[in-house]
Amino acid sequence: MVKKTFKPNVNMSEKTVKEAISYRRSVRIYDPEQPLDKNVVKQCIEQATLAPTSSNLQLWEFYHITNEDTKTKMIEACLSQTASRTAQQFVVAVSRRDKWKDRVAANLDFMESQFAKQEKRDAKREKMAMNYYTKIIPTLYSDFFGIMGYVKRLMASIRGISSPTYRQVLSSDLNIVAHKSTALAAQNFMISMAAHGYDTCPMEGFDSVRVKTILGLPSSAMITMVIGCGIRAKGGIYGPQFRVPFNQVYFEK
């Protein structure tokens, strides 16, 4: 028997950033005859982690689903929508605000190693950087059943009367911050996939409790989006792309 080898997509040649952005569409139907190379998808996930992230906390995780049984469960959790039923693989972008202490420790270890390499250490800059992760971030992210957030918001409101102040201090605000960073990384992933001629569809329609159960995640984890992956079939894109006129969303001040 001749071993079947992976045949790259005809659109596999690397695209420029502009080409990849233009190529990316939300694909709802994938071609079952064109499988994805899971190693390429994994590389695209690695590109996702180079996205900008608030305070470099990197409060994200990515679950790459290739197992057929797990895929079947994910299809149901995604309400059996078309973009999930024909997907070759899934990537689930998860926000992990609950891991902020681990990420702070990782940043401190990294900074200490970098400062140690310097021939002439900048004590003032080093102190500012260390204080940010040992004092400011813990003050912002520490909470007690959401109560401290309201205390911090009151303090920020009073301080904001006389000077510009960071005001997104509620627990719900920090959830949004984590989701924003994770969404930026997810966009990196989708553009990277497009550069390889692979297609994606970010899905909002899913049962987050079931997805967490499938992935073995704690209740504190937050599902930012489930991304169906594959190679577009004929008719897989539902019509031409529509965007409101640019002059309705662009304002120069």
**Predicted pLDDT at 222:** 98
Q: Domains of the chain by range and CATH?
A: 17-97+174-236 (3.40.109.10)
Which tens digit of pLDDT belongs to each residue from 111-153? 999 999 998 888 899 999 999 999 999 999 998 777 888 888 8
User: Can you tell me the mean pLDDT for 170-187?
Assistant: 96
How much is the mean pLDDT over the chain?
A: 93
**What percentage of the chain exceeds 90 in pLDDT?**
85
**Predicted pLDDT at 12:** 53
**Predicted pLDDT at 62:** 98
Q: Say what the pTM is.
A: 0.90
Contact 155, 167 (CB under 8 A): no
Which tens digit of pLDDT belongs to each residue from 209-234? 999 999 999 999 999 999 999 999 99
User: Can you tell me the mean pLDDT for 157-179?
Assistant: 93
Contact 91, 45 (CB under 8 A): yes
CA distance 113 to 118: 9
CA distance 250 to 253: 10
**Predicted pLDDT at 121:** 85
CA distance 222 to 98: 9
> Is 2 a residue whose pLDDT tops 90?
no
Helix (H) or strand (E) holding 227: strand 222-230
Coil/strand/helix, residue 160? helix
User: Can you tell me the mean pLDDT for 165-174?
Assistant: 92
Structure tokens at 243: 């965007």
> Is 6 a residue whose pLDDT tops 70?
no
For residue 231, give every residue at least 6 positions away whose Cβ sits within 8 Å of its Cβ, in sequence order, or none: 9, 30, 31, 34, 36, 88, 197, 198, 199
**Predicted pLDDT at 120:** 87
Which tens digit of pLDDT belongs to each residue from 200-212? 999 999 999 999 9
**Predicted pLDDT at 13:** 64
> Is 3 a residue whose pLDDT tops 50?
no
Helix 171-195 vs helix 38-48: angle between axes, to the nearest 10 degrees? Answer: 140
For residue 202, give every residue at least 6 positions away whose Cβ sits within 8 Å of its Cβ, in sequence order, or none: 26, 186, 190, 225, 226, 227
User: Can you tell me the mean pLDDT for 34-42?
Assistant: 96
> Is 10 a residue whose pLDDT tops 50?
no
Structure tokens at 248: 């309705």
User: Can you tell me the mean pLDDT for 56-71?
Assistant: 98
